[in-house]
Structure 1
Amino acid sequence: MSTERIPGINPTAKPSGNGCAGCSTGDGPGWWFHLRRCAECGEIGCCDSSPAQHASKHASEAGHPFLTSFEPGEDWFWDTRTEEFYDGGPELAAPAAHPAEQPTPGPEDAVPADWQQLLH
């Protein structure tokens, strides 16, 4: 990806928090597998393997096409419209990932014992 302004990516938008905004407000089962960040507004949502799939729902409903990982050590973007993967992209406002000490899946106190059977 180029470093010039890309429609759908706002490098100044800060992450909405350290966990999935939807799961944290009681929409769905309340836990996630991996986290994704909306590159336009910064909303943190759970990945498509998670039961609630909040990140993709947000992208579709808000018309914000680009998601990026919010996992430590990952630097990629996904265009939800074209299903194109980009290895790297523009630097977004910090932080780039949830805290390294935060467990995956999470949050720790909400993950059921059979979580692996509940993934998509």
Structure 2
Amino acid sequence: MSTEIDPAAVPSGTGCLECDAAGGWWVHLRRCAACGHIGCCDDSPRRHASAHWRETGHPIIQSFEPGEDWFWDFDSDDYYAGPQLAPPDSRPADETVPGPRGRVPADWYEQLQDRSD
């Protein structure tokens, strides 16, 4: 098993840590396999999961979406076979996508299409 994974690390919350602090929104959530940080995916406006990797060097994430258990390794840019991580293993199943409920702008789709990246 990789030294980049701590199966006992608990998730930092049920939503993107930085988006929650700023009142923002996300498309999908990713969990750092080393420390449990929950960040938003690269389809989200702020891309906090990959920013966390660049800031910390923690390359392996797992989907934090209900019914998904795949891992991704940013360093190899490929899927990764990871172990079972500490619960919970996803955001609340009744939360919206994008989410969280009440913070997603009506024009969210257009905002994502208009990004210059």
TM-score, length-scaled by structure 1: 0.89
What is the identity percentage for the equivalent residue pairs of Structure 1 and Structure 2? Answer: 56
Say if 2:6 is the partner of 1:19. Answer: no
Residue 34 of structure 1, aligned match among 28, 32, 35: 28
Distance in 2 between residues matched to 1:118 and 1:64, nearest whole Å: 29
The residue matched to 2:87 in structure 1 has which SS? Answer: coil
The residue matched to 1:45 in structure 2 has which SS? Answer: strand
Tell me how far 1:89 sits from its aligned partner: 2.2
Runs of 4+ aligned residues of structure 1 deviating over 6 Å after TM superposition are: none
Q: CA RMSD in A?
A: 1.2
Tell me how far 1:76 sits from its aligned partner: 0.6
* Aligned equivalent of 1:98: 91
The residue matched to 1:109 in structure 2 has which SS? Answer: coil
Aligned partner letter, 1:22: E
1:44-67 Cα deviation digits (max 9, x unpaired): 000000000000000110110101
Tell me how far 1:118 sits from its aligned partner: 2.2
The residue matched to 1:108 in structure 2 has which SS? Answer: coil
TM-score, length-scaled by structure 2: 0.91
Aligned partner letter, 2:21: T
Residue 49 of structure 2, aligned match among 33, 55, 60: 55
Q: What is the aligned length?
A: 113
Could you tell me which runs of 5 or more consecutive residues in structure 1 were left unpaired when the two chains were aligned.
Answer: none
